[in-house]
Amino acid sequence: MSFSILAVLKKYLMPRKGRLLLVGSLMLLALAMQLVRPLILRHILDEAISGEGMAVLQLGALLLAVVSVLGHVFGTMTRYMSDVLGWEATNELRDDVTKHVLRLDQAFHKGTRPGELIERVDVDVTRLANFFANFTRHIVINVLFLLGSIVLLWREHMWVGASYAAYSVLSIGALSYLRRLVTPYQVAERKASAQVYGFLGEQLAVTEDMQGLGAQSYMLEKLRAEFQKWLPHRIRTFVSYNTLWSSAILAHVVNISLAVGLAAMLWQRGLITLGTVFLIVHYAELLQVPIEQIRMQLQELQRAAASLRRVTELFNTKAISQQSTGHHIPEGPIRVVAEGLGFKYEDGGAVLDGVSFALPAGEVLGIIGRTGSGKTTLARLVARQYDPSFGVLALSGVPTTAATQATIRERVSFVGQEVQIFHATVRDNLTFFGTSTNDAELIGVLYDLGLGEWFAALPDGLGTMMSHGGSGLSAGEAQLLALARAFLRNPSLVVLDEASAKIDPISEKRIDTALEKLLAGRTGIIIAHRLTTLDRVDHILLLDEGKVVEYGRQQELLNSSTSRYAGLRRLGVEEVLA
Amino acid sequence: MKALRTIWALIVARPWLYALDVFLWTVIHAIPLVPPLLLRQVLDALVEDPGAEPVWYFVAAMSGYAIIRIGFILAGSVIDAVHRYHVSALLRYNVMRSVFKRPGSAAIAVPPGEALDSVRDDTEHLEDTVSWVADFFGELMFGIGAIIIMLGINARVTAIVFLPLLVIGVIFNLASLRLEKYRAASRDAASAVTGVIGETFTAVQAVQMAQAEEPVARHLKKLNQTRASYALRERKYNHLLDFSSHCTISIGIAAILLAAGHEMRLGGFTVGDFALFVAYLDYVTGIAEFYGYFVAYIQQGVVAVTRLQNLLGGTIKELTESKYWFAKAKEQKMASREKLEQLSVRDLTYLHPNSSTGIHNITFDIAASTLVVITGRMGSGKTTLLRALLGQLQPASGQVYWNDKLIADPAMALTPPLATYVRQTPLLLSGTIEENLLLGHAVESTALGKAIRLAVFNQDLDRFDHGLKTMVGVRGVKLSGGQVQRLAAARAMVHSPELLVFDDLSSALDIKTEEEMWRQLFAERQGTYLVVSHRPQVLVAADKIIVLKNGSIIDQGTYPELKERCEEFRQLLSAQESA
């Protein structure tokens, strides 16, 4: 999706063009009322000076009141309708951005704080909402008002009209030029504030850790330091912003002086009435408003453009899944084959280096190795969270890079070590707000995995709200919940990344039994934490420093006298270097 | 009144700075009284003597006006920026301060995204309000000045000005309650959105793997629509208020001009007067509107104050207390060390909200320089027990004694150098490894080295190019799960605490390393250890094992004793031996 201001306006506003037209017409009516007002004022003034009867004056005043009220009616309707349009369009945009960001890779999410994403998906988009709601309306109305006033002034005297046309162009130009000078300060300030909020977000997340370590005052001092870094930016933005205001004041002085000078000249030559003198001066005053508004809207445009740029950046960040030929993975359990598989992070050495193995469909592979051996990376490649740097990883003959992420994720379930519980019902937490699964199935899986007791204690069953952090749910139980999530999706290949690390032995045994049931007819890859969990595994892959040390059928390895795996088991070592 | 009290407290936090702010902005807002006066003079001069040349005087005087006003604006911007900064910083500092003081798990009752939303926007609302008080005062001065000048010109015409102002005041007062209600609803709906966005992007991996992007996005969309409908309701009401005040003013102006025209025919009113009235009336109506909004904004401030108070869990006085923010930065001081002889836990009970699970009447002792291991199956309350003991959860009842002295506030007291706690899923700050280890404490490099060695983190450290200066990434993502936990263990050992509490190290350390760690720790002979573990090797080494089941202690003793008499313990062991 390529984005520009115009493209956004088109994409999100065009579907609403009927209502846009209505808003436009109401806006024109409101404008007409505004332009007529000074003419009525002149009339009142001239009549008063010439000493006409009260009736004429009364009529003028009544007309003024009616015109003003009508102007407010049209104006208010325009404003409210623009608000509605703005919110609708923005929610649509926000929905698109959310969906897009949700599809981006881990590579993107690992480098971005959730707080920062809130800024982008919410704050930036909200700014665009205001822009949608107001910009077009303001710009059009102000430009038209400006043009209308100049035409009316021109009617009074050519010189006045010409002078004001020139003044409008010059002052808008000058003010816009100044605006460009101050933008960098505003950009820097937004960056600084995003930094502060990012920090605050992190602080709010680590309270428990910091408290246990007695680091509260350290955190507060850090906060103070972050604030202090922000202050100079705030001062600079304020001053620069008000410099713009100051220049508008100067422009106003020029404006009024011009009006008074011109009117005085024409009056002294007897070319205009006293009422018209007032009219010229009054229009000049009124002109200042649209000039100021146009300037502010251009500034708003700039800010909206900055927000849009950030949003566009998000849109232009492509998930790797979007680069593929979309091959279909054959039905049934998946065969996993790696040939010379390697992976390195952009800024580092190889994490995986020339890994080869072949896991037949429907069998289970256990991967062991110490931290940094590349276990987790291998698991992530299988789930296509990353693409290999070299070599091939094929699922039932289809290289992961040839299938879309969606295809792969439909067939592959991945359970990692971290579990996030949503502030939502148990049902929504299990199905991720999905609707397709029935309750009996949900409860069945919970019991299968040994969460039955926990479930039975819930006051509202599946409808119980889970609080942030999952109250009453131990770390082990949370991991079981994640397993339940994975199996509910009926995958063909299951990847478990130390998913039972935090579960006690008794429960783990129970899960083992459940896993056996759940893995039936499926291919499994288990990154093992305890060697005991490998009892039912068909194949063993021992990794070290990104390379395969040993690979083979468990039984064959155990029977071999040279096998390192067999050696570990014989020694009774329970756990491999996590 | 809540909002007013808060605003007042924020104003007096820095009285002189604020007084200067008010002075500058009063001049900035009141000085526009001058141009209409000048205009009146020039118009009247023209009428009286068509040959006069008053225009140049007018231009000169207007330039002077502009220069003075601009000077004040620039000075006012600096002062306003500084004052505003202090107002929101003070509020945010106080909120964070009390968040850190509260028991860990109760620190914030809402998802972090939602809390952040409040810390960001509600403080900003109050900051705006305080700053606008200065503006409002200036506008008020202008209004009073304008009315005095107009009264001086023609009292009868001016009298009509008050009527619309009165009507607007009444309208806004009547509307304020509802405005506040609508405001609260739309703020809550907005918070719900940010809360869910935060949770969603934290869990993005799980969401993606579950291919739940669509349903999650749909859920968010629904929340967004709710927010939009509340926001629009608020806007509609605001528009209606605007509409009624605008109409009142317009009708008022028509009436005033009618009266002015009448006076003019009688000769008591000049063109200059007329122009001045029109100009002032435009301003005064602007002020009336500003007043309406300002009052509404102050009332909406109640919502902001309430939300901040919920987060802070304290009074307005605590929220606006200025002494902490304006205090000089202090060296982080640790509590004084008191050698542990015995830690006693008596009748500790905690129940999870929304659930009947928890821990019940836990009583046990820990003698100095011993290793006490808590074991039990999943959900038996091991972590809950540690957290309740350390004050991170607020226990329903029970006491903890340090050498027979009751610990009144365990969350505050059981910190280094008395105790440290390594959580099961520790979180890191997104700084360097060194920063994460020190957390602002002054630590000797030998102590640091020892902690790294004891936590078996030295091998990991050697692998990083920048050693201690390596950046760990956002929430420590650049480290593996095991590395995060070993770093967290080292972080806890830096201060050689009297009591070291570990919640299950088994996913951080392989058994050999853990055995090595315990061997070294005992060789050091300096600490007491309370540990959650299932590992037979650790259980064998323990001086005392506490077996938990369904939140209660079913037995405690040594490994041989328990193996002899405790069925649950035997089950836990046999589950691991079956290999």
Angle between helices A125-156 and A274-316 (to 10 degrees): 150
Given a cut of 60, whether residue B25 has pLDDT beyond it is yes
pLDDT digits (tens, 9 = 90+) for B238-247: 888 888 888 8
Query: Given this model, what pLDDT does residue B545 score?
Result: 94
CB contact under 8 A, B201 and A118: yes
Residue B328 region, left (φ>0) first, then alpha (ψ -120 to 50), else beta?
A: beta
Which residues in chain B are closer than 8 Å to A416, comparing Cβ atoms? 205-206, 209
Of A333-337, A347-351, B256-260, give the lowest mean pLDDT range: A347-351
Given a cut of 70, whether residue B134 has pLDDT beyond it is yes
In a domain, A343, yes or no: yes
In a domain, A469, yes or no: no
The closest CB to that of A91, out of B97, B225, B535, belongs to B225
Evaluate the omega torsion of the peptide bond into residue A459 and state whether it is cis, within 30 degrees of 0: no
Q: List the single residue in A with minimal CA-CA distance to B415.
A: A214
Given a cut of 80, whether residue A423 has pLDDT beyond it is no
Query: Given this model, what pLDDT does residue A327 score?
Result: 77
Confidence of residue A191 (pLDDT cuts 50, 70, 90): confident
At position B259, the amino acid (one-letter code) is A
Helix, strand or coil for residue B502? strand
pLDDT digits (tens, 9 = 90+) for A260-308: 999 888 888 888 888 888 888 888 888 887 887 777 777 677 777 777 7
Given a cut of 90, whether residue B67 has pLDDT beyond it is yes
Determine which helix (DSSP H) or strand (DSSP E) holds A497, and give its type and residue range: strand A493-497
pLDDT digits (tens, 9 = 90+) for B502-519: 888 766 666 667 777 777
Let me know whether A222 and A364 are in one domain. no
Please check whether residue A576 touches B, CB under 8 A. yes
* Residue A93 distance to chain B (closest CA, Å): 11
DSSP string covering B180-207: HHHHHHHHHHHHHHHHHHHHHHHTHHHH
232-251 in chain A: CB under 8 A from chain B: 234-235, 237-239, 241-243, 245-246, 249-250
In a domain, A160, yes or no: yes
CB contact under 8 A, A102 and B204: yes
Residue with tokens 């740029």: A309
Given a cut of 80, whether residue A470 has pLDDT beyond it is no
Contact A201, B116 (CB under 8 A): yes
Which residues in chain A are closer than 8 Å to B105, comparing Cβ atoms? 208, 469
Q: List the single residue in B with minimal CA-CA distance to A413.
A: B209
Please check whether residue B455 touches A, CB under 8 A. no
Across the range A438-443, mean pLDDT stands at: 86
Confidence of residue A504 (pLDDT cuts 50, 70, 90): confident
Count other C-beta atoms under 10 Å from residue B405's C-beta: 11
Confidence of residue B226 (pLDDT cuts 50, 70, 90): very high
Of A3-7, A268-272, B212-216, give the lowest mean pLDDT range: A3-7
Given a cut of 90, whether residue A500 has pLDDT beyond it is no
Of A475-484, B20-29, B69-78, B129-138, give the lowest mean pLDDT range: A475-484
Let me know whether A413 and A266 are in one domain. no
CB contact under 8 A, B430 and A41: no
A499 versus B504: the higher-pLDDT residue is: B504
Across the range B533-543, mean pLDDT stands at: 85
In a domain, A477, yes or no: no
Let me know whether A393 and A294 are in one domain. no
Query: Given this model, what pLDDT does residue B81 score?
Result: 94
> Which one of A283, A318, A353 terminates a domain?
A318
CB contact under 8 A, B506 and A501: yes
Confidence of residue A38 (pLDDT cuts 50, 70, 90): confident
Any idea which fold B342-577 has? Rossmann fold (3.40.50)
CB contact under 8 A, A80 and B63: no
* Residue B114 distance to chain A (closest CA, Å): 10
Best mutation target among B114, B187, B226, B378 (most A Cβ atoms within 10 Å) is B378
Determine which helix (DSSP H) or strand (DSSP E) holds B552, and give its type and residue range: strand B552-557
Query: Given this model, what pLDDT does residue B63 score?
Result: 94
Query: Given this model, what pLDDT does residue B473 score?
Result: 74
pLDDT digits (tens, 9 = 90+) for B412-456: 788 888 888 888 878 888 888 998 888 888 888 888 898 898 888
Given a cut of 80, whether residue A389 has pLDDT beyond it is yes
Confidence of residue B332 (pLDDT cuts 50, 70, 90): low
Contact A523, A492 (CB under 8 A): yes
Please check whether residue B112 touches A, CB under 8 A. yes
Given a cut of 60, whether residue A578 has pLDDT beyond it is no
Let me know whether A13 and A142 are in one domain. yes
pLDDT above 90 covers a percentage of chain A that reads 12
Query: B95 Cβ partners below 8 Å, 6+ apart?
Result: B119, B123, B308, B311, B312, B319
How many Cα atoms sit within 13 Å of B336 on the Cβ side? Answer: 1
Dmax over CA atoms of chain A, in Å, equals 122
CB contact under 8 A, B423 and A209: yes
Q: Count of CB contacts below 8 A, A vs B?
A: 509
CATH number of B2-326: 1.20.1560.10
Confidence of residue A515 (pLDDT cuts 50, 70, 90): confident
Query: Given this model, what pLDDT does residue B373 score?
Result: 93
Across the range A551-570, mean pLDDT stands at: 85
Query: Given this model, what pLDDT does residue B374 score?
Result: 94
Let me know whether A213 and A353 are in one domain. no
Confidence of residue A244 (pLDDT cuts 50, 70, 90): confident
Residue with tokens 């029977």: A559
CB contact under 8 A, A227 and B85: yes
Contact B464, A347 (CB under 8 A): no
Please check whether residue B222 touches A, CB under 8 A. no
Please check whether residue A177 touches B, CB under 8 A. no
Across the range B133-149, mean pLDDT stands at: 91
Determine which helix (DSSP H) or strand (DSSP E) holds B420, and give its type and residue range: strand B419-422
Contact A34, A64 (CB under 8 A): no
pLDDT digits (tens, 9 = 90+) for B481-501: 778 888 888 998 888 889 999
Number of domains in chain A: 2
Q: List the single residue in B with minimal CA-CA distance to A65.
A: B251
- CA of residue A448 relative to chain centroid, distance: 38
In a domain, A555, yes or no: yes
Please check whether residue A503 touches B, CB under 8 A. yes
- Give the domain range for residue A51: 5-318
CB contact under 8 A, A477 and B378: yes
Best mutation target among B204, B277, B456 (most A Cβ atoms within 10 Å) is B204
CB contact under 8 A, B243 and A507: no
In a domain, A300, yes or no: yes
Given a cut of 80, whether residue A501 has pLDDT beyond it is no
Please check whether residue B458 touches A, CB under 8 A. no
d(CA A345, CA B479): 13
Given a cut of 50, whether residue B579 has pLDDT beyond it is no
Please check whether residue A456 touches B, CB under 8 A. no
Main-chain dihedrals φ then ψ at residue B529, nearest 5 degrees: -130, 135
Please check whether residue A468 touches B, CB under 8 A. yes
Let me know whether A177 and A70 are in one domain. yes
Q: List the single residue in B with minimal CA-CA distance to A319.
A: B208
Across the range B107-136, mean pLDDT stands at: 85
A177 versus A571: the higher-pLDDT residue is: A177
Which value, to the nearest 10 degrees, does the dihedral of the CA atoms of residues B387, A200, B101, B104 take? -10
CB contact under 8 A, B120 and A504: no
Q: Which two tokens stand for residue A291?
A: 């000039």
Given a cut of 50, whether residue A1 has pLDDT beyond it is no
At position A521, the amino acid (one-letter code) is G
d(CA A387, CA A401): 7
Please check whether residue A535 touches B, CB under 8 A. yes
Considering B34-38, B210-214, B348-352, B571-575, the range whose residues carry the highest mean pLDDT is: B34-38
Let me know whether A302 and A172 are in one domain. yes
CB contact under 8 A, A416 and B206: yes
Q: Which two tokens stand for residue A569?
A: 């088991």
Which residues in chain A are closer than 8 Å to B333, comparing Cβ atoms? 217
Which residues in chain B are closer than 8 Å to A420, comparing Cβ atoms? 199, 202-203, 206
Let me know whether A293 and A372 are in one domain. no
> What's chain A's average pLDDT?
82
Distances (CA, A) of A512 to A53, A55, A518, A563, A576: 101, 97, 10, 25, 18
Confidence of residue B330 (pLDDT cuts 50, 70, 90): low
Length of chain B equals 579
End-to-end CA distance of chain B: give it in Å, rounded.
69
CB contact under 8 A, B354 and A282: no
Strands A364-368 and A523-527: parallel
d(CA A489, CA A258): 75
Query: Given this model, what pLDDT does residue A233 score?
Result: 92
Across the range B387-407, mean pLDDT stands at: 88
pLDDT above 70 covers a percentage of chain B that reads 95
CB contact under 8 A, B96 and A200: yes
236-275 in chain B: CB under 8 A from chain A: 236, 239-240, 242-243, 246-247, 250-251, 253-255, 257-258, 260-262, 264-265, 271, 274-275
Let me know whether A303 and A352 are in one domain. no
Q: Which two tokens stand for residue B307?
A: 């939300």
ipTM surpassing 0.85: no
CB contact under 8 A, A281 and B246: no
Considering A338-342, B3-7, B69-73, the range whose residues carry the highest mean pLDDT is: B69-73
Query: A69 Cβ partners below 8 Å, 6+ apart?
Result: B247, B250, B251
pLDDT digits (tens, 9 = 90+) for A111-156: 666 667 777 777 788 777 777 767 767 777 888 888 988 898 898 8
- CATH code, domain with A497: 3.40.50.300
Query: Given this model, what pLDDT does residue A229 score?
Result: 92
pLDDT above 90 covers a percentage of chain B that reads 27
Closest to B534 in 3D by CA, of B375, B380, B400, B393 = B375
- CATH code, domain with A178: 1.20.1560.10
* Residue B498 distance to chain A (closest CA, Å): 13
- CA of residue B460 relative to chain centroid, distance: 36
d(CA B339, CA B337): 6
In a domain, A463, yes or no: no
Let me know whether A147 and A203 are in one domain. yes
In a domain, A393, yes or no: yes
Query: Given this model, what pLDDT does residue A115 score?
Result: 66
How many Cα atoms sit within 13 Å of B9 on the Cβ side? Answer: 20
Let me know whether A513 and A399 are in one domain. yes
Given a cut of 60, whether residue A2 has pLDDT beyond it is no
The closest CB to that of B423, out of A201, A208, A457, belongs to A208
Let me know whether A280 and A400 are in one domain. no
Hey, where are the domains in chain B?
2-326, 342-577
Given a cut of 50, whether residue A577 has pLDDT beyond it is no
Distances (CA, A) of A416 to A380, A381, A496, B64, B571: 10, 13, 6, 70, 28
Query: Given this model, what pLDDT does residue B26 score?
Result: 95
pLDDT digits (tens, 9 = 90+) for A57-91: 888 889 999 999 999 999 899 889 988 988 888 88
Query: Given this model, what pLDDT does residue A113 score?
Result: 67
Which residues in chain A are closer than 8 Å to B354, comparing Cβ atoms? 458-459, 464-465, 467, 471-472
122-181 in chain B: CB under 8 A from chain A: none
Q: Which two tokens stand for residue B181?
A: 């209600």
The closest CB to that of A110, out of B35, B231, B477, belongs to B477
The closest CB to that of B199, out of A210, A420, A502, belongs to A420
> What's chain B's average pLDDT?
85
